[in-house]
Structure 1
Amino acid sequence: MATPHHRLTNVCSALMLAVALPATAQQTSNDSDNTILPDEIITVVAHRQARALSEVAGTVSVLSDAELERDLVFNASDLIRYEMGVELDDTTHRFGYSGFRIRGVGGNRTAIVVDQVAIADRFAVGSFSDTGRGLLDLGLANRVEILRGPASTLYGSDALGGVVAVQTLQPEDVLTTEHQGTRVRLGYGSDADRGYGRVATALSSGNHSLLMAAAVSHNDEVEAKGLEGDQLDPQKTVQRAALLKWHYLTDQGELKLSFDALREQRDSQIKHSLGTGRQASTTALSGDDERYEWRAILSFDSAATAFYDQGQWRVFLQQAQTQQNSFEERGRLAEPVSIFRGFRYDYSNYGAAADLEFETQLLGLSQRIGYGFEWSQAEVWDERDAWQFNQVTQQTTKTLLGETFPLRDFPRSKIQELGLYLHDEIKLWRGGPTVSPGLRYEYYDLATQADELFDLRYPNTAVTDLTHTAWLPKLGVLWPLGPQAEWFAQYARGYRAPPFADVNVGLYYPQFRVLAIANPDLKPERGYTFETGLRWRAKNTELTLTGYHNRFSDFIDSRAAQGFDPQQQLLIFQSVNRDKVVIEGLELSWKQQWNRRWESQLWLDYSQGEDRTTGQDVASVSPPSMLAEVNYAAPSGAWETRFILRAQQGQKQLYNVDDEALYAAPGYATMDWLVQWFPSHQLQVGAGVFNLADRKYWNPIQVGNYPQDDPIIPIMAAAGRHVKATVNYRF
């Protein structure tokens, strides 16, 4: 290992855990015995119960509704624009958002929950099928919390890298009087000629309250610096979302019913790759994609009982459906052909959960004990269809590259998961440390269903059912160092069960003599995180320093080549486990209030990753980066302005499995200028100029897996100088 690694490991072992967040919390004393002060920032994601950030032995970002408006957030890209160590997984313009990457761990390894319910995982196969991950339109979100690092003790499988928790609007967020309120938001962004609108209305009478909200957005293809409009891949995207909530307050607690729905349509033309590589003979390629999802949640926020002081019970049902159609013209062939490819993916999920908590005295020690369960059952299936029409012979075939359509990539599958968790916060003595042990039992069962289509297409492919159990511990320590500082430390274990599409694979190309086989011995992926840091605050200063060391083992390599089987005369592919990956880093945040008008903030992020098997750097880990902000607020409070500098070091040279050089994004620095104007208590106007210097740059994560000469690289560049504006009105 290189010397910098040893230095970093030594620093991490000496540092202490802190929440790397520009916190605005004020605290007079750490002896308040679980009392949350009015000005403290509250988080729910860290313990599944409300806590002040000063009580959390973990790294959490909390983005309130006011911050979402202040940062001109339209979508997921805007959401994490100023979040150090958090990025989007997107590597293509066509299929939309595929999830979040936290501290170098992304894909389905980062849990995304909406109103405490986990959304569907992403599934992708080939170049024409990718479900992405349906993120509820952020116009209907009122709060987003990001928990960094393995969180499987509380959130089970898929929380290997962390958790992004979205809370949608509540009636009380919209009410402006005792009985009613309305919020209207309009927005525009020139980077994709995007328009956005949202309206939310709330009514309250007696013990009942009702919320109705809807949002719609429309945008064209995202601009890329250095390219004209006819050099981009044209795309039209329309997204519509709706939210309905009813709350009923009783003597026993509050009953809540929520329903949300999202429909997204994308029409794309893929021009960048025409005439190159596998599409050397292609003269036209377009996509018509649609995603629809809905979710219903019935929850009960219970008053105290003999078994707990507070808690939430909930049942839920959700469905997501993806339909993607691709149309290709291969006009450069001697006999031109037209090709259609269709892909459908259906996901349905229902379950029940409870999060409960009580305070007690045991062995003379003050304790807060949280416990609960999560049970869910999901059913998934996909289907691909295709045909090819020969324009000369006028013949149509449903066999392409040896595959006969329709077909499935995996048999219909049912997944059952059960998690039981218990955690405690034990205050050892007044003013002393709080120790937070936790443990979860996780049960995962994958069962294949009878599937005539899969059996017909892959008669020689064996499938397997899979059952795994795991014990997932964590241990945190929070030690006040006087009234102005805390020391944090945490150990946590992460876990991700083997996905259905990796256990059972449908892949057989007879003309290429290729066969994929199931792997009944596939192990879960596991992660181990160690965090330590300090947080210090004074009247006008807040400083946080965090170090972390994450180890991951048994990462799943999907459909990896296993060599040639002389008995079957076939090249065998199988999903297998790989050895250890280590990711470690440092995070620093500093916030300074210079006077009543001027404020500055600084964030620094340094991380590195190594595949211990190959000794290579991990491509999913971003280069070091920084963000600096200067904020000026007018004495009247009628407006404020912010200048934000973002900078990132260039990506190291990386190579693929064939030792071919991948594209290494150069370093960059860009400036944004944002303004908020408050003409009245009811009206707020925001505007921003982004990439003020009109720089050309790339996000390393989005382009890091492409060859250096891939034609997609130019269109993946970030937008040049562009503007955004919003108007928010309440009445």
Structure 2
Amino acid sequence: MKRRCLARLRATVRVTPVAAVCAALGSPAFADEGASKRTTVAALNEVVVTATRTAERADSVASTITTRDARQIERAQPVDETGLFADEPDIDVPRDRRRFGAGSINIRGIEDNRVLQMVDGVRLPDFFNGGGPSNISSATRDAPEFSFLKRVEVLRGPASSLYGSDAIGGVVAYATKDPVDLTQGRAVGGELGLNWNGIDNGFGQTAGVAGGNDTIQGLFMYANRNAHEMKNMGSDDSNSVNRTRPNPQDVRTQAWLGKILLNASPEHKFKLTYEHRDGNTDTDILRLSTALPRVTSSTGSEDLKRDRVSLDYEWKPASGVLDRLAAQVYYQEADTSTFTNQVRSNTSTGCSATTRGTSLCSVDLDFAFRQRQTGFNVQADKSFATGSVEHRLIGGVDFMRVRSAESRDGIVRNLTTGTTSKSIAGETFPRHDFPTGETRQTGLFVQDELRFFDGRFTLTPGLRYDHYSLSPDGDDLVYNNAAGRPAVSKSDSHVSPKLSALWQATDRINLWAQYVFGYRAPNYQEVNGSFRNTVQGYGAAPNADLNAEKSRSFEIGARYTDDKVQTSVAVFDNRYRDFIEQVQLNCPTDPACLPGLRATYQYRNQTSVRIYGAEWRGVWRFLPQWRVDGAVAYAHGINEQTSQPLNSVSPLRASAGLSWERTPGQGAGIRWRGARPVTRTDDTSFTYFKPSGYGVVDLQAWWRFNRYVSLALSVNNLFDKKYWLWGDVRQTGVAATEPGVDFYTQPGRTFAASLKLSF
């Protein structure tokens, strides 16, 4: 089984630039299949790809990285990214409990577009959240269909020296299945799956088939899922600000994946991939907003679609001039649109959401966010020696062009007076909150792994040059220019160096350290975003003077590995300069304040932001069929300019598990995860609701009856514990005085089951 796993992973080296191993060292989900000591040690020493974008051994990675493979994902049965990373205490994926669900991935307190997410080496579209109490404008990155995945890899900390601007907080890489993952050595193979999860009463079906020969192989997979609202522990079913039951939802998603692999010759290989995913959600928004007292009922719908086409090429010349040259060209488009209808009662003639009157109104609000991405990347690898020093040199180029567009539209119908208007809260629709335009990013990188003393000491310097340019369209006449200033173009360049070192102190212990520079360019919204709500008296001003963010990260770690124990510890200190954060201006003295409004928000560079912390992971196989694992993550964040805590940093969190596996396909486990109470928050604007600490228990069991049939069962939150996640509270901005905070609780006891047929 282990050899088959390694064979699959080797087949993906060409397209996955993030480190992975069959079993992640020290991961809470360490793969234990009842293997012997010899197999266990081999799994730790044999490596496929690394955080250096080259083939590497697991114990030679001078950074913190964890993986989850297809089997682990199937057993955990997650319904979204929050569930996928639930056992990683340094990863947080907040959910918008009102309607949009899981949002951006947070790694060690850094989130949104600072964390690079890729599928088969192609960047996912940007995360966008317009904010505001109406909650009408949000576009998530939309992770791929989980049943299509063979592996997920997470690299912590700045990785700009290899991946560029949007990797200042880390990298999450999804790798989809190849034909060999279904055929498993046969001419034709496939799988069928059924799954149900009580967390949202969702029922899904998956199907896949693959086949071919040594020259050409093909794969096609399809998935469909129908679900409802995410459960919580609330009991108030009213249509009011006091409601604590979830907003009723109907959720439908479908996806398909196609691949063709051509081994044209021993030296030349090609892979063509098409990925499609779309979803639709209808929501009765019965939980009303205290900030919008005239809105007495609301409904909403969201539609999203993402399509990707990519072509990968690999050349391994027999001449030896290079070890390997890999290239990829791709096109991806993503569209998100939302529709919201609000009934406003006892409101003003102009149908205000806040002002009392005698009118009854119906207000329709539309939002759309679109991105078109085209790009390519080329990477060359070469190993050689100079005297007693071995080198592994890589270099390459990444290029991406992204065209982004956002729009809002609306129509107001006063049902009392019979009038219709395209003006809402002082805005005339349609309009854009930032101008449609294009962003180009080009990166050149080089890295050399130098191995000394028979490979016991590795020194890895790296360097990347990035250039970006942001150009708005000149004919964008409906741009919401609240500040009365034209949209601007921006361009910048930056050099990001890196230096890491790893010392193999003994056969079981290695020590490592890295010093990495990070860089992130401001995006379209941060530079040219603009908004004005004259009725409620707030707005957002553009900032053409934003500087790019820079970071310096220092991390040290140690690993211990033997046939029974694998453990690691890491300590990190990340310092950010010119950190971009949206702040409320000191009005009216600040010259950027929008006149006539009580509050103006603007993206500003913060002089200094610091996040430091420590993490531990470990696995102990105390009996041949038994193991215990655990992980703890602590981080402390502060805005050194304001001396305020960073709300994006979660309190100390931990996870642990005890599992028994009689055979590779038959076993059971119990998992615990918990967190300390929230005590450090920036309450400058308002006082946050601070969740207490918690601990919850899950049960899992799995059976593989034969080579064709397998079953997985789960009981989540076994003891029906009521608790809140800080990420959900922070995402929504829940105040301590907000009524009905049980609305934001996590699901109580739920059950899940999945059945898989392989042929």
TM-score, L = length of structure 2: 0.89
**1:59 has 2:64 as partner:** yes
Q: Secondary structure at the match of 1:654?
A: coil
Distance 1:706 1:122 in 2: 21
Shift of 1:509: 4.7
Distance 2:682 2:207 in 1: 48
Shift of 1:228: 6.5
Shift of 1:505: 2.2
Shift of 1:405: 0.3
**1:303 has 2:316 as partner:** yes
**1:329 has 2:308 as partner:** no
**1:681 has 2:695 as partner:** no
Shift of 1:511: 6.4
Q: Secondary structure at the match of 1:520?
A: coil
Contact 2:80 2:102 in 1 (8 A): no
Matching residue of 2:652 = 624
Structure 1 residue identity aligned to 2:87: Y
1:341-386 residue CA offsets vs partner (Å, 9 max, x unmatched): 0011111010110122110113541010111110011111111100
Question: What are the within-5 Å matches in structure 2 for residues 47-446 of structure 1?
Answer: 47-125=52-130, 126=132, 127-227=135-235, 231-251=245-265, 252-273=267-288, 276-304=289-317, 307-333=321-347, 334-446=358-470
Structure 1 residue identity aligned to 2:296: T
Matching residue of 1:475 = 499
Matching residue of 1:614 = 642
Residues 24 and 476 of structure 1, relative CA distance in 2, 3 Å threshold: farther
**1:498 has 2:522 as partner:** yes
Distance 1:601 1:245 in 2: 36
Matching residue of 2:721 = 695
Question: What are the within-5 Å matches in structure 2 for residues 518-529 of structure 1?
Answer: 518-529=542-553
Contact 1:237 1:266 in 2 (8 A): yes
Distance 1:594 1:436 in 2: 36
Question: What are the within-5 Å matches in structure 2 for residues 524-603 of structure 1?
Answer: 524-558=548-582, 560-561=584-585, 563-564=587-588, 569-570=595-596, 573-603=601-631
Distance 1:695 1:396 in 2: 49
Distance 1:703 1:511 in 2: 27
Distance 1:479 1:714 in 2: 50
Contact 1:325 1:341 in 2 (8 A): yes
Q: Secondary structure at the match of 1:158?
A: helix
Residues 714 and 430 of structure 1, relative CA distance in 2, 3 Å threshold: same
| Range moving further from structure 2, 118-127 or 339-348 | 118-127
Matching residue of 2:9 = none
Contact 2:483 2:541 in 1 (8 A): no
Shift of 1:306: 5.2
Q: Secondary structure at the match of 1:77?
A: helix
Distance 1:642 1:355 in 2: 42
Contact 1:644 1:671 in 2 (8 A): yes
Shift of 1:301: 1.8
Contact 1:19 1:546 in 2 (8 A): no
1:472-520 residue CA offsets vs partner (Å, 9 max, x unmatched): 0111111001111110111112211101111112324566786754323
Distance 2:549 2:715 in 1: 42
Shift of 1:566: 9.9
Distance 2:548 2:590 in 1: 30
Q: Secondary structure at the match of 2:71?
A: helix
Matching residue of 2:671 = 644
1:278-314 residue CA offsets vs partner (Å, 9 max, x unmatched): 3212221111110011000001022136542013101
Contact 1:122 1:133 in 2 (8 A): yes
Contact 1:88 1:97 in 2 (8 A): yes
| Range moving further from structure 2, 705-714 or 131-140 | 705-714
Structure 2 residue identity aligned to 1:298: L
Structure 2 residue identity aligned to 1:21: S
Distance 1:211 1:709 in 2: 54
Structure 2 gaps of 5+ residues are 1-23, 239-244, 348-357
Contact 1:502 1:559 in 2 (8 A): no
Shift of 1:591: 1.0
Contact 2:388 2:452 in 1 (8 A): no
Distance 1:263 1:206 in 2: 33
Distance 1:605 1:573 in 2: 33
Contact 1:157 1:496 in 2 (8 A): yes
Distance 2:459 2:701 in 1: 43
Shift of 1:666: 0.5
TM-score, L = length of structure 1: 0.92
**1:633 has 2:661 as partner:** yes
Number of aligned residue pairs: 704
Distance 1:675 1:266 in 2: 31
Question: What are the within-5 Å matches in structure 2 for residues 451-490 of structure 1?
Answer: 451-454=475-478, 460-490=484-514
Distance 1:681 1:116 in 2: 32
Structure 2 residue identity aligned to 1:155: Y
Contact 2:433 2:479 in 1 (8 A): no
Shift of 1:39: 5.6
Shift of 1:707: 0.7
Matching residue of 1:667 = 693
Residues 708 and 510 of structure 1, relative CA distance in 2, 3 Å threshold: closer
Shift of 1:711: 4.4
Residues 437 and 335 of structure 1, relative CA distance in 2, 3 Å threshold: same
Residues 389 and 296 of structure 1, relative CA distance in 2, 3 Å threshold: same
Distance 1:60 1:463 in 2: 40
1:526-557 residue CA offsets vs partner (Å, 9 max, x unmatched): 22211111101122111211111111221212
Q: Secondary structure at the match of 1:674?
A: strand
Contact 2:606 2:639 in 1 (8 A): no
Residues 638 and 151 of structure 1, relative CA distance in 2, 3 Å threshold: closer
Q: Secondary structure at the match of 1:54?
A: helix
Contact 1:194 1:218 in 2 (8 A): yes
Contact 1:587 1:606 in 2 (8 A): yes
Q: Secondary structure at the match of 1:703?
A: helix
Structure 1 residue identity aligned to 2:708: Q
Distance 1:583 1:418 in 2: 28
Shift of 1:159: 0.8
| Range moving further from structure 2, 599-608 or 215-224 | 599-608
Structure 1 gaps of 5+ residues are 1-17, 30-35
Structure 1 residue identity aligned to 2:27: L
Contact 1:437 1:476 in 2 (8 A): yes
